[in-house]
Amino acid sequence: MSEKKWVYLFNEVDKAQEAVGGDWEDVRAFLGGKGANLGDMTRAGIPVPPGFTVTTEACLAYLHEGNKFPEDMWKQELEAMKEVEQLTGKKFGDPSNPLLVSSRSGAKFSMPGMMDTVLNIGLNDETAEGLAEKMGDARFVYDAYRRLVEMFGSVVLDIPDEAFEHPMSAYKAKKGVKSDTELTAEDWKSITETFKAVFREHTGTDFPGDPYEQLKLSTEAVFKSWNGKRAVDYRNAAGISHDLGTAVNIVTMVFGNMGWESGTGVAFTRDPATGERKLYGDYLLNAQGEDVVAGIRNTEKIQNLENDLPEAYQEFLDICEKLEVHYRDMQDVEFTIEDGKLWMLQTRTGKRTAKSAVKIAVDMADEGLISNEEAVLRISPDEVDTLLHPQFDISALNQAEDEGRKIAHGVNASPGAAVGQIYFDADKSELKAKEDGQDVIMVRPFTKPDDVHGMLAAKGILTSEGGATSHAAVVARQFGVPCVVGAADIKIDLEKRQMDVNGKIVKEGDWISVDGTTGDVFLGKMPTIAPSLEEQTDLLTLLNWADEICAAPGIRKAPEGWPTKGLEVWANADYPADARRARSYGAIGIGLCRTEHMFFEQERLPIVQRMILADTSEERTAALDELLPYQRSDFSGLFEAMDGYPVIIRLIDPPLHEFLPSEEELLEEVITMRVTGKTERLEEKEELLEDVQSMHESNPMMGLRGVRLSISMPEIVEMQVRAIFEAAAEQTKAGIEVKPEVMIPLTGTVKELDWIQPRLERIAADVMKEQDVNFDYKFGTMIEIPRAAVTAQEIAEVAEFFSFGTNDLTQMTFGYSRDDAERNFLITYVEEGILPKNPFQTIDQDGVGRLMRISVEDGRKSRVDLEVGICGEHGGDPDSIEFCHLIGNNYVSCSPFRVPIARLAAAHAALKHSNN
């Protein structure tokens, strides 16, 4: 059996790839990202200083065996050093021509907490003297030597940085010099000796002069750093596996500080902020790697290198281009020029802003580097989310931080930037926003369902308590209001109408700026940039590609007769203006129009109340006759906005008492009237109170609502259906293509549909006949009661479509009332791992999802072309969207704001699960 290979020279990357079975991701895990790419660049003929990688496997074996190198590893490392000596013509530890190397850690994913780089390994008293003589530059050599002692001490042996910094500044002070550049060779030599003394003092041993000892100790230190606290914490936070290990890269030193023909720099192959296709980076002549990052000297823009070192610059440009073609993505590179000769020291995929990510993906697809599908897959739904919300101007952010105006930080619950005057309750927030037209930030310890009117009127929401699933967070996300929750530094005094933020008092009416994207809170007004979708042409292109992916028949594997395209994205919209916004965001249907919202409008509510309280059928009909034209015009506007696309209108759903004044309110009025003797309307109010009391239900959510209400009082829905079809007829005559779908809510048994649906269909037929028009329509139901889900096969014999109302379905499946759950125990459940996520945000696949799956499968047994969708808030959640794709939904419907996110998520689901 051949011995196990623990060490790979950079020019042996083929062998490494073979050893792991060919897949590049496995090579990255095996050699670490840095090592794999150094090998890969070497293979591509790009100049990389000779070197080798000790594998992550060796690291794991070392840690596993109680900090012992695995058998043969050290032997192989020594052999690899011999090869590097061959390649460079230098010798490790040889004073006449010493080889110097760096030791660099590198795991599969780049992560802070891993061991820092040690440069100049191989220097000792002898090699330093030899090198100084050979180069004729003792100053340079002793500067390098003291750096080694310092780095080796702090990185490998954990000596605190100050231990070196103090004697260094003391030395400079004694000599009366300010800058390092004023120090001579003798100075550096003397500082090296001082550093060696510091080393001895802290470790009890001499600085190891033996280069091989240096190599061995730094290799071990890199291995051990895998289990260092900072690295472990980071992996926990970032969800990176603890079994990957880190590799060690030993790289021949190249020097950017050998004079003015030398230099070093870092660059991105495209602009990481905007995505623009031009190099973005900095360099310094006559400097070493860290100098650029440390900002000791002012760096030059990478483009200026063309004037300083034109040949090296041209070669660098060519290499950058080559790297982009090779990796098919924007790269972040490090390079050093030694005496005019360019060396590449690192390349990796560059981090970027959401805006830049979209531009780069679209450009690279246009350039033919990647396919449209890959471009779509490179952007996450979260990035799209970020791009659609107003953001603070970056320079204003920096300025505010410099001026100390960043006052608090909380959970970034709903993205976007908001600026406004603060108010501490919902009523006042609404009042100030609506009546005075102010920009309002509503500030509360936490919010409750009866705060929603204030939250909707506000530009932003800030709470001092609660987490990502708190009521404030959930509502804010649903309505696209920027929100920060749980900003614990804020102490709200509702009595005094002010808040205390670390001693700073902010009063009601003062301006603050809230960044829901980052969770930061600032004092004062900050300028925002409001991106509109129409202006983001790259994003539009990308979303069109996403739509094309979903529109392709066959992208989804499905049983005979089921949809084989991806999901369509529809929107929930109650008003024509919402529908138009939904269309502009790319929705191709309305999945939910809630008609009762129309009942709440000021001029209509009295009519609605009259209708509810009617004593006789004639009175009721008269009130409904008055309401009909209102409803008809609402629907008419919706059909017009959705010309050619389906519109699902849900018949009245809430219990009737919601349209009446509350019992407490009426009771108070009646008592006041009796006490004060102002009794003109007393009788009327007393009657109303009696009616309201008679309608009292102990649990209205499970009471007389939805289809139950329609059966007990069919006149309302009969009016609604007439209004829908009259509106549809009117628009058909006007040349609009209408596709009305009437949705019956809260069905629990097919008998309910058997009772109500034929009556309604008769009205539909009547209207078409009266108006002499014809168009297609559907009658269907919501699936939001578990009994409906498990009897879906029978229900689908009557219903022509299903729409999952996943909010109620989740409430009833879990037996939770959402508001109570989110206020009282859901956060604990998620924190304790009893639930993986808030089931009101992401569908609970095992329970609620199982019911959904049964519904689709059984429903399509009765009606293979049953149209299935979802209209709950989950319709805009990427994980839930993927689930809807898998169970065979035709579409998802979400709030208009989330339509672009859903379009991208639908394409991701389609690509992820397609076999092409």
Tell me if 254 contacts ligand ADP by CB under 6 A.
yes
Two structure tokens written together for 266: 């870092």
Phi, psi of 43, rounded to the nearest 5 degrees: -60, -35
CB of 239 to ligand ADP, least distance (A): 21
Quote the Cα angle for 370-373-374, to 5°.
45
Give the x/- contact pattern for Mg ion in 700-719, rule: CB under 5 A: --------------------
Residue type, 753: L
Q: Are 264 and 288 in contact (CB under 8 A)?
A: yes
- 10 Å CB burial of residue 708 (0-12, 13-18, 19+) is middle
Q: Considering the candidates 320, 389, 471, 894, report the single residue annotated as catalytic.
A: 471
CB of 101 to ligand ADP, least distance (A): 6
Work out which of 46, 131, 253, 579 binds ligand ADP, going by CB under 6 A.
Answer: 253
Binding region for ligand ADP (CB under 6 A) out of 185-193, 251-259, 297-305, 692-700? 251-259
251 contact, one of Mg ion, ligand ADP, none, CB 5-8 Å limit per kind: ligand ADP
SS3 call for 513: strand
- Which residue number, 106 or 208, has a Cβ lying nearer to ligand ADP? 106
State the CB neighbour count (10 A cutoff) for residue 140.
18
Nearest one of 804, 775, 802, 782 to 639, comparing CA atoms: 775
Interface with ligand ADP: number of residues (CB under 6 A): 15
Give the x/- contact pattern for ligand ADP in 728-757, rule: CB under 6 A: ------------------------------
Q: Considering the candidates 871, 885, 894, 908, report the single residue annotated as catalytic.
A: 871
- Helices within 642-738 (DSSP H only): 663-676, 682-694, 706-712, 714-733
CB of 506 to ligand ADP, least distance (A): 41
Q: Which residue has the tokens 């606290």?
A: 229
Work out which of 53, 257, 299, 346 binds ligand ADP, going by CB under 6 A.
Answer: 346
Tell me if 290 contacts ligand ADP by CB under 6 A.
yes
Two structure tokens written together for 423: 């108010």
- Which residue number, 249 or 346, has a Cβ lying nearer to Mg ion? 346
Within 86-105, which residues bind ligand ADP (CB under 6 A)?
A: 102, 104
Binding region for ligand ADP (CB under 6 A) out of 182-190, 252-260, 684-692, 905-913? 252-260
- Which residue number, 346 or 463, has a Cβ lying nearer to Mg ion? 346
Tell me if 218 contacts Mg ion by CB under 5 A.
no
Q: Cα dist. 383→82, 534, 594, 688 in Å?
A: 48, 17, 30, 52
The CA distance from 588 to 76, in Å, is: 63
Work out which of 249, 264, 346, 391 binds Mg ion, going by CB under 5 A.
Answer: 346
CB of 117 to Mg ion, least distance (A): 6
State the CB neighbour count (10 A cutoff) for residue 173.
10
Tell me if 251 contacts ligand ADP by CB under 6 A.
yes
102 contact, one of Mg ion, ligand ADP, none, CB 5-8 Å limit per kind: ligand ADP
Give the x/- contact pattern for ligand ADP in 28-67, rule: CB under 6 A: ---------------------x------------------
Binding region for ligand ADP (CB under 6 A) out of 245-253, 496-504, 724-732, 745-753? 245-253
Residue closest to ligand ADP when measured from CB atoms: 289
CB of 100 to ligand ADP, least distance (A): 8
- Which residue number, 251 or 417, has a Cβ lying nearer to ligand ADP? 251
Active site residue 871: yes
Phi, psi of 601, rounded to the nearest 5 degrees: -65, 145
Q: Cα dist. 600→120, 211, 814 in Å?
A: 76, 82, 31
- Which residue number, 112 or 176, has a Cβ lying nearer to ligand ADP? 112
Tell me if 53 contacts Mg ion by CB under 5 A.
no
- Which residue number, 106 or 869, has a Cβ lying nearer to ligand ADP? 106
CB of 313 to Mg ion, least distance (A): 21
The CA distance from 322 to 843, in Å, is: 45
Work out which of 59, 345, 357, 384 binds ligand ADP, going by CB under 6 A.
Answer: 345
CB of 105 to Mg ion, least distance (A): 6
460 contact, one of Mg ion, ligand ADP, none, CB 5-8 Å limit per kind: none
Helix (H) / strand (E) containing 900: helix 899-912
| Number of alpha carbons in the 13 Å side-chain half-sphere of residue 313 | 17
Strands of the 280-285 sheet, one edge to the other? 300-301, 280-285, 263-268, 331-338, 341-349
CB of 115 to Mg ion, least distance (A): 7
The CA distance from 446 to 461, in Å, is: 10
- Which residue number, 247 or 795, has a Cβ lying nearer to Mg ion? 247
Active site residue 471: yes
The CA distance from 119 to 267, in Å, is: 21
Q: Are 13 and 56 in contact (CB under 8 A)?
A: no
Binding region for ligand ADP (CB under 6 A) out of 246-254, 323-331, 356-364, 610-618? 246-254
- Gyration radius of the chain over CA positions: 35
Q: Which residue has the tokens 């809510």?
A: 745
716 contact, one of ligand ADP, Mg ion, none, CB 5-8 Å limit per kind: none
Helix, strand, coil in percent for the chain, rounding step 5: 50, 15, 30
Binding region for ligand ADP (CB under 6 A) out of 207-215, 248-256, 745-753, 906-914? 248-256
Quote the Cα angle for 558-564-567, to 5°.
110
Quote the Cα angle for 659-783-808, to 5°.
50
Residue closest to Mg ion when measured from CB atoms: 346
- Which residue number, 249 or 513, has a Cβ lying nearer to ligand ADP? 249
The CA distance from 97 to 88, in Å, is: 10
Helix (H) / strand (E) containing 213: helix 211-225
CA 275 to chain centre: 19
Work out which of 117, 331, 391, 810 binds ligand ADP, going by CB under 6 A.
Answer: 117
Q: Cα dist. 734→278, 365, 729, 740 in Å?
A: 53, 43, 9, 16
7 contact, one of ligand ADP, Mg ion, none, CB 5-8 Å limit per kind: none
CB of 251 to ligand ADP, least distance (A): 4
Largest CA distance in the chain: 113
253 contact, one of Mg ion, ligand ADP, none, CB 5-8 Å limit per kind: ligand ADP
289 contact, one of Mg ion, ligand ADP, none, CB 5-8 Å limit per kind: ligand ADP
Nearest one of 837, 780, 829, 824 to 804, comparing CA atoms: 780
Catalytic positions: 471, 871
Q: Which residues bind Mg ion (CB under 5 A)?
A: 346
Q: Which residues bind ligand ADP (CB under 6 A)?
A: 49, 102, 104, 117, 119, 251-254, 289-290, 334, 336, 345-346
